Amino acid sequence: MDPSALDLDRPLPVDRTTAHGLLADTMQAAGVLERPAPDAAHRWIDTFLDAFADRGGSLRDALHAVAALRAEAVTLPALELERLRNRQVLFFLDAVSQYVDDQAELRGLQLEHDVPVIAEEFGIAPADAFAALRMALTGETDGPPLELLFPLLGHERIMIRIGAVSSHVLHGRGLEPITFGPGGKPFETIQSTRPPATGEPSNGS
């Protein structure tokens, strides 16, 4: 298929079989999927459609989402990165990275249970844990369920993206949070209820 012949503004079809075939053809024409596509790629497309098909959008939107998922790095909004500037949050994200590394398969993980269990060790509330993890992995505050994003990103990208967040947070002034946010309002990082270690600042940073 000639890439110039693609109608990228065409809505992604509702019918899953049609959508799968059209997305595979579009990805191949765009040079992001080999031909013939291996079985693993077809499973990836099925998972992608589970995650994104009900969000609407065009083939162009789908290609943008595919590219974002396959990129090694994401850009976090500056203020969201500041919210992660907390020792316990970085420990939590590193623990998630270790958890991912220990999984043979990322499909079907019970993240609704496992993530809060990991977060509890670091005194981080479940809602904050999920928000921090999603931000670290996607640079967004909203999106498809993490249970679908994990297999779409894969082991290596998850660990690379988490590692990059830790590197960015620790670069420069390290773990010292900003005092004020937009409009001069007091700013706080994601908080931990874990008692600070001796000599550690009370805000966990």
Q: What are the pLDDT tens digits along the chain (205 aa)?
A: 454 567 888 888 889 999 999 999 999 998 899 999 999 999 999 999 999 988 878 999 999 999 999 998 899 999 999 999 999 999 999 999 999 999 999 999 999 999 999 999 999 999 999 999 999 999 999 999 999 999 999 999 999 999 999 998 888 677 887 888 888 888 889 999 875 554 444 444 4
Are residues 65 and 108 both part of a single domain? no
Token pair belonging to 64: 């943008």
Structural domain including 58 reads: 7-70
Same domain, 94 and 49: no
Burial class (CB in 10 A: 0-12, 13-18, 19+), 42: middle
Measured between alpha carbons, how far is 165 from 84 in angstroms, rounded to an integer?
9
- Measured CA to CA in angstroms, residue 168 lies from 45, 82, 128, 153, 180 at distances of 31, 10, 19, 20, 20
Q: d(Cα 73, Cα 100) in Å, to the nearest integer?
A: 17
Count of domains forming the chain: 2
CATH number at residue 90: 1.10.10.350
Amino acid letter, 149:
L
Residue 47 and residue 94 in one domain:
no
Question: Are 84 and 122 in contact, with CB atoms under 8 Å apart?
Answer: no
119 shares a domain with 39 = no
Radius of gyration of the chain (CA): 19
> Rounded to an integer, what distance in angstroms lies between the CA atom of residue 196 and that of residue 205?
9
Domain assignment present for 198: no
Whether residues 61 and 85 share a domain: the answer is no
CA atoms within 13 A on the CB side of 68: 17
Q: Are 87 and 169 in contact (CB under 8 A)?
A: no
- Tell which residue, 6, 157, 155, has the closest CA to residue 68: 157
DSSP β-bridge partners for residue 58? 11
Can you list the alpha helix ranges (DSSP code H) found in the chain?
Answer: 16-29, 39-52, 59-70, 78-83, 87-101, 111-120, 126-138, 146-170
- Asked if residue 124 and residue 40 are part of one domain, the reply reads no
CA 137 to CA 145: how far, in whole Å?
Answer: 12
Classify residue 203: in a domain, yes or no. no
Q: What is the pLDDT of residue 5?
A: 60
Two tokens at 169?
A: 């947070």
Shared domain for 54 and 137, answered yes or no, is no
137 shares its domain with 105? yes
What is the reported pLDDT for 130?
Answer: 98
User: Is 120 contained in some domain?
Assistant: yes
User: Do residues 114 and 49 both lie within one domain?
Assistant: no
In a domain, residue 197? The reply is no
Tell me the whole-structure pTM to 2 decimals: 0.87
Do 131 and 61 share a structural domain?
Answer: no
